[in-house]
């Protein structure tokens, strides 16, 4: 198994609330409520650990309320390399309704000054110089906190790539645009995010494939598109692949994308075939929607979920990002 690093620049304490239906302006009764140390990179780390990898987590945490993160990292068995900054880590509310709709109420996060950013860069440089602790790949996931601009994110990606590290990115908005321009190894947008970048509505399978091919042609070696029940597209040097998950009752989609990214990275670093990799990643992402949290590869019926996941190769992909 591999040594991997996740960077969560804007983590959060996630207040996940399940309810039948959200009715604004009224008193709503919850079915379940959970407060979890989270952030997309932390969620990715949870999956990678479950799949057997040695994981280091880093980024920025508010020093005033890092207790839940300390306990979570200890329970996970990950190396805590988060840099503490003054103030509190934000609390995000995620309201999941019975029909699968999720309403996110996210805070901006603690402001990151120049000194804190430089501390992170210095730590990364030292870690990359340490042959015993150097990661096999880096995942940068989540939004950017105040003080960390999309330009800084792009420069970070370029520095890590120049150092010879695979860099997997999951972010959105302008940060996603700048990240793609910096040519990370992998990017995992959802339909809306990729549609915004591509400048066209992805209302058909052909449009989704066309946009994923454009992403690959832009220099992203592993172009991964998650389209919910319509499945997953993965375009790389291995060809263009599609997977459709089994139909399941959706309790919460929070964590599904993080699960997909982590499981696909697992398959790539372990050298699994494209079919094996995409089948596991898609099935594990589907498993996650049945409950709050990330996918559980130890679920008793997980082998059955993999069997129910349909995977097919669409065709080869040439260097220009076109179907060959």
Examine domains 1-182 and 185-324 and report if their fold is the same. Answer: yes
Query: What residue segments make up the domains of the chain, in order of their start?
Result: 1-182, 185-324
CB-count burial class (<10 Å; 0-12, 13-18, 19+) for 93: middle
The pLDDT of residue 252: 79
Task: Give one DSSP letter per residue of 14-70, joined into a string.
Answer: EEEEEES---TTS----SEEEEEEE-HHHHHHHHHHHTT-EEEEEEEEEGGG-HHHH
CA–CA separation, 11 vs 144, rounded Å? 9
Please name which of 8, 91, 96 lies closest in space to residue 46, comparing C-alpha atoms. Answer: 8
- Active-site annotation holds for 258: yes
Rounded Cα distance between 292 and 127, Å, is 33
Starting at the earlier edge strand, list the strands of the sheet with 12-19.
Answer: 32-38, 12-19, 91-97, 102-105
- Evaluate if residue 313 carries a pLDDT over 90: yes
Residue that the structure tokens 């890092």 belong to: 66
- pLDDT, residue 288, reads 94
* Predicted local distance difference test score (pLDDT) of residue 317: 72
- Residue 321: the pLDDT is 61
pLDDT in tens, 7-64: 999 999 988 888 899 988 999 998 888 888 989 999 999 999 999 999 999 999 999 9
Q: Per this entry, what is the length of the chain?
A: 324
Neighbours of 211 (CB within 10 A): 24
Q: Is 153 exposed, middle or buried (0-12, 13-18, 19+ CB in 10 A)?
A: buried
Q: Is the pLDDT of residue 190 over 70?
A: yes
Interatomic CA distance for residues 197 and 210, integer angstroms: 12
Residue 121 has pLDDT above 60, yes or no: yes
Q: How many CB atoms lie within 10 A of CB 227?
A: 17
Task: Tell which wins on pLDDT, 270 or 109.
Answer: 270
Q: Angle of helix 173-181 relative to helix 150-162, nearest 10 degrees? A: 30
Q: Which two tokens stand for residue 71?
A: 């306990």
CA dist 316 and 229 (Å) reads 24
131 pLDDT above the threshold of 60? yes
Looking at domain 185-324, its CATH superfamily turns out to be Ribokinase (3.40.1190.20)
The catalytically annotated residue of 129, 258, 301, 318 is: 258
Residue pLDDT, tens place only, 89-106: 999 888 888 887 888 888
- Res 152 pLDDT > 90: yes
Q: What pLDDT was estimated at residue 127?
A: 97
State the Rg of the chain over Cα. Answer: 19
pLDDT of residue 319: 53
Q: Which helix (H) or strand (E) holds 302?
A: helix 302-308
State the average pLDDT for the chain.
Answer: 93
Q: Collapse the DSSP code of 307 into the 3-class scheme (helix H, G, I; strand E, B; otherwise coil) and give the result.
A: helix
Domain 1-182 -> CATH class: alpha beta
What b-and-e string marks burial along 238-272, b requiring 16 or more CB atoms within 10 Å of the CB? bebbbbbbbeeebbbbbbbbbbbbbbbbbbbbeeb
């Amino acid at each position: 198994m591999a040594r991997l690093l996740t960077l969560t620049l804007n983590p959060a304490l996630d207040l996940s609330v399940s309810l039948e239906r959200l009715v604004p302006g009224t008193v709503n009764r919850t079915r379940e409520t959970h407060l979890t140390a989270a952030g997309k990179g932390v969620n990715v780390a949870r999956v990678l650990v479950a799949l057997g990898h040695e994981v280091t987590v880093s980024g920025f945490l508010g020093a005033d309320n890092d207790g839940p993160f300390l306990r979570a990292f200890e329970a996970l068995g990950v190396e805590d390399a988060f840099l503490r900054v003054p103030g509190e880590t934000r609390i995000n509310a995620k309201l999941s309704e019975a029909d699968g709709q999720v309403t996110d109420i996210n805070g901006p996060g603690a402001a990151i000054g120049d000194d804190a950013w430089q501390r992170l860069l210095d730590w990364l440089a030292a870690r990359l110089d340490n042959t015993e602790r150097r990661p096999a790949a880096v995942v940068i996931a989540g939004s950017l906190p105040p003080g960390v601009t999309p330009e800084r994110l792009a420069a970070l990606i370029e520095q890590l790539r120049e150092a010879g590290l695979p860099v997997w990115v999951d972010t959105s908005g302008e940060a996603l645009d700048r990240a793609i321009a910096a040519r990370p190894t992998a990017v995992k947008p959802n339909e809306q995010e990729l549609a915004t970048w591509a400048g066209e509505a992805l209302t058909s399978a052909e449009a989704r494939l066309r946009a994923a091919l454009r992403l690959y042609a832009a220099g992203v070696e592993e172009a991964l598109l998650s389209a919910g029940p319509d499945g997953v597209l993965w375009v790389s040097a291995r060809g263009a692949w599609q997977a459709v998950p089994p139909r399941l009752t959706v309790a919460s989609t929070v964590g599904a994308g993080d699960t997909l990214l982590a499981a696909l990275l697992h398959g790539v670093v372990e050298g699994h075939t494209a079919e094996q990799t995409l089948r596991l990643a898609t099935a594990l992402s589907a498993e996650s929607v049945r409950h709050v949290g990330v996918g559980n590869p130890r679920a008793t019926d997980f082998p059955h979920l993999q069997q129910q996941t349909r995977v097919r190769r669409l065709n080869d992909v040439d260097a220009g990002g076109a179907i060959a």
